[in-house]
Amino acid sequence: MTARILSGKEIADAIKREVADDVKRIETEHGYRPCLAVVRVGEDAASAVYVGNKVKTSEELGLISEHHHLPAETSHAELLRLVEDLNNRAEVDGILVQLPLPRQINEKEILETIDAEKDVDGFNPLNVGRLAQGQNALAPCTPAGIIEMLKRFEIKMRGRHAVVVGRSNIVGRPMAQLLLKEDATVTIAHRYSEKLAEITRQADILVVAIGRAGFIRAEHLKAGATVVDVGINNVADAELARELFSGSELEKRLNTIEKRGFTLVGDVNPREASEKAADYTPVPGGVGLLTVAMLMRNTVDAAVKRRLRKSLVNDARATV
């Protein structure tokens, strides 16, 4: 069997088209464009790429974008003040503080300070709690994008066994909550799980977010499963590339290692997944692209909801 490849690009492009249409309609009918403020602190190389993509995509879709880049030595109090400023500015609809933050900054307190209504990352404990209660909430972009992708490829979730490997706040935990909301039977596995392969082999839907190149092998998979690979790992070792790829893909990967010094690889062995799974998401070209698309969706949704609530409150004030 050769698995169907689930293209994240196709779904991300569709979501972005819908968001761009919504932005145009909002501007025509309500006279504003949703605004996303992105904050980056320091010089983390991966963060620079991610934030660059977020700013560029928001501009392409017609949103207003603000990029705040602060020096690595920014104090906790300074960042806190910026977040409070953004909270207080009525024209800012979404606030995203890129993680990781430098060590002198208390990440937990920063995330708790972001106004829950503007929390387009879904990292504020109020939104995390809402999600845990099965309420509608701004949900973290990568897992929300995965749900959107599964729906659009018509992969059934209700009643099926979904296993999530990894329990991070950014992917694993919210992923499990969102799958539960879709009525899947959900198991979370992590680094201390015993007999991991026995657990993952039960998965009709397997989502892996652990940050270990090619860790999930054929022995971990149920034949015919849907495999969602969230890992993004740099592989510089040609020997490892030979274990993960074959044929023309291997040639391509070896060339990339030669030219760039590394190639991007997920947490799942792609050669073995393509032989055993029914469908799987490739790396790159899989779920990575969905994250930015869902951030745009969250920003527009946050704008509409907050501004509608504000205008209702103002209307109510005017009538008393």
CB of 178 to ligand GUN, least distance (A): 14
CB of 296 to ligand GUN, least distance (A): 13
Indicate the residue among 121 and 204 with the shorter CB distance to ligand GUN. 121
Q: What is the 3-state secondary structure (H, E, C) of the chain?
A: CCCEECCHHHHHHHHHHHHHHHHHHHHHHHCCCCEEEEEEECCCHHHHHHHHHHHHHHHHCCCEEEEEEECCCCCHHHHHHHHHHHHHCCCCCEEEECCCCCCCCCHHHHHHHCCHHHECCCCCHHHHHHHHCCCCCCCCHHHHHHHHHHHHCCCCCCCCEEEEECCCCCCHHHHHHHHHHCCCEEEEECCCCCCHHHHHCCCCEEEECCCCCCCECHHHCCCCCEEEECCCEEECCHHHHHHHCCHHHHHHHHHHHHHHCCEEECCECHHHHHHHCCEECCCCCCCHHHHHHHHHHHHHHHHHHHHHHHHHHHHHHHHC
* CA pair distance 239, 214, nearest whole angstrom: 12
Nearest to 36 by CA among 308, 305, 295: 295
CB of 170 to ligand GUN, least distance (A): 5
CB of 97 to ligand GUN, least distance (A): 6
Indicate the residue among 170 and 227 with the shorter CB distance to ligand GUN. 170
Point out which residues bind ligand GUN (CB under 6 A).
96-99, 121, 141-142, 170, 291
Nearest to 94 by CA among 83, 106, 81: 83
* CA pair distance 261, 258, nearest whole angstrom: 6
Centre a 10 Å sphere on the Cβ of residue 311 and count the other Cβ atoms it contains. 11
CB of 139 to ligand GUN, least distance (A): 11
Indicate the residue among 107 and 243 with the shorter CB distance to ligand GUN. 107
Which phi and psi (to 5°) does residue 233 adopt?
A: -125, 140
CB of 284 to ligand GUN, least distance (A): 15
CB of 3 to ligand GUN, least distance (A): 26
Active site members: 54, 98, 121
Among all residues, whose Cβ is closest to ligand GUN? 99
Token pair 């909801």 in the structure block, residue: 305
Indicate the residue among 7 and 53 with the shorter CB distance to ligand GUN. 53
